[in-house]
Amino acid sequence: MEVAKVLHMNGGIGEASYAKNSLIAKKVILMTKSIRDEAITALYRNLSPETICIADLGCSSGPNTFLTISRLIQTIYEECKSDGQKQSPEFHVFLNDLPGNDFNTIFRSLTAFYDDLRKQMRDGFDPNCFVTGVAGSFYTRLFPSKSLHFVHSSYSLQWISQVPHGIEDNKGNIYVSRTSPPTVVKAYYELYERDFATFLKYRSKELVKGGRMILTMLGRKNEDLYSKGCYYVLEPLAMALKELVAMGLIEEEKVNSFNIPIYSPSPAEVKYVVEKEGSFTIDVLETSELCIDVSDETCGNTGPSDAQNDLHLCRVQEMVTPQDCSNGEYNVAHCLRAVTESLLVSHFGTELNMDQVFNKCREIFVNCMAKEKTTFTNVIISMTKRN
């Protein structure tokens, strides 16, 4: 599977679109606001560029696309205002995703985005923001040398560049699960390490000296190899596919050869690759937790982290609540479809009835998964380019 040619979140604004099913991603973006504010403020104070060039990698489409950018611009506006400046710098924003992304919806939203920016800016400040779409894999070079000041990516770097080779023994699984053989876990990790090192190498060429980068990815809080977040989201799909095999609707061999190119790293794994690659200084390395709780109870404390003592880890809890669900904002089957449908279509073709698959997923979630409180662990790293 050539992931760069196949993978994309569902476009448009329909019921199965990513735009309508990205509540978790939105909450994660909001949870990391203080880290972004600190980084962009430090960048502006140290470099004072007349034009701040910002890249958001894995931007997708929908309301979250401009959420980070508008908050960054607002932070610089407040900084300029507090210093008595009469004008903020200009902003050149690059929105990047794979070629299959729904860039048309993004461009159609630009007018509303600019209008919202003007409403936020007071006292005669003009936002002077210019937006460019950049299609391509972030595991390749995307920008000219030393052309960026700030790079942001949220909930994208858990996607690796391809399905690893040599994982034929991962039968009955569609990701790294507790029943995956050690050889499969090793293959996924080694590809993640190579991909992340490549990502860092290219971003180091594109960022100016002293440039900042903040990455947030679905991860693990310690060295337990299995992500509860992945289990919660992907296991209903694995179970649904097995049920369709039992019903004779799809071939078992076809299901056994389907794997999703996702790896959820631990803070220690992220730290190891950054330090080994060597282009960046780590300013912040934290985990945050997002609790999926569709009962009326609250999510309890998860206890201390087992990660290495030299890592700075901060527990920040946010929740997807029953109110979110009753408002129609969170539907696990729709969310799953918005994220994985492109991969399923590429692998199974017209043989697979997507409505049938995700109706099964919804049944499984309601009958099994929704009875459990589930915590998504997010790994957040803020870095500065060395030289």
User: What integer pLDDT is reported at residue 279 of this predicted model?
Assistant: 98
User: What integer pLDDT is reported at residue 313 of this predicted model?
Assistant: 38
Q: Which two tokens stand for residue 259?
A: 């794997």
Q: Considering only CA atoms, which of 303, 314, 320, 304 is closest in space to residue 369?
A: 320
Q: Which two tokens stand for residue 375?
A: 């915590």
Fold of 3-292+329-385: Rossmann fold (3.40.50)
Specify burial of residue 222 (Cβ count, 10 A radius: 0-12, 13-18, 19+): middle
User: What integer pLDDT is reported at residue 173 of this predicted model?
Assistant: 93
Alpha helices in the chain (DSSP H): 3-6, 23-31, 33-47, 67-82, 103-108, 110-120, 182-206, 228-246, 252-256, 267-277, 322-326, 332-348, 354-367
Q: 260 near 174, Cβ under 8 Å?
A: yes
Per-residue pLDDT of the chain (387 residues; tens, 9 = 90+): 678 999 999 999 888 899 998 888 999 999 999 999 999 999 999 999 999 999 999 999 999 999 999 999 999 999 988 888 878 899 999 999 999 999 999 999 999 999 888 888 776 677 789 999 999 999 999 999 999 999 999 999 999 999 999 999 999 999 999 899 999 999 999 999 999 999 999 999 999 999 999 999 999 988 887 777 778 788 889 999 999 999 999 999 999 999 999 999 999 999 999 999 999 999 999 999 888 754 433 333 333 333 333 333 334 455 544 444 444 334 778 889 999 999 999 999 988 899 999 999 988 888 876 666 777 899 999 999 998
User: What integer pLDDT is reported at residue 330 of this predicted model?
Assistant: 47
Phi, psi of 324 (to 5 degrees): -60, -45
- Mapped onto helix, strand or coil, the DSSP state of residue 350 is helix
User: What integer pLDDT is reported at residue 121 of this predicted model?
Assistant: 78
Summary count for the chain: helices (H), strands (E): 13, 8
Model confidence, pTM: 0.89
pLDDT tens-digit map of 347-367: 999 888 999 999 999 888 888
Does an H or E element contain 170, and which? none
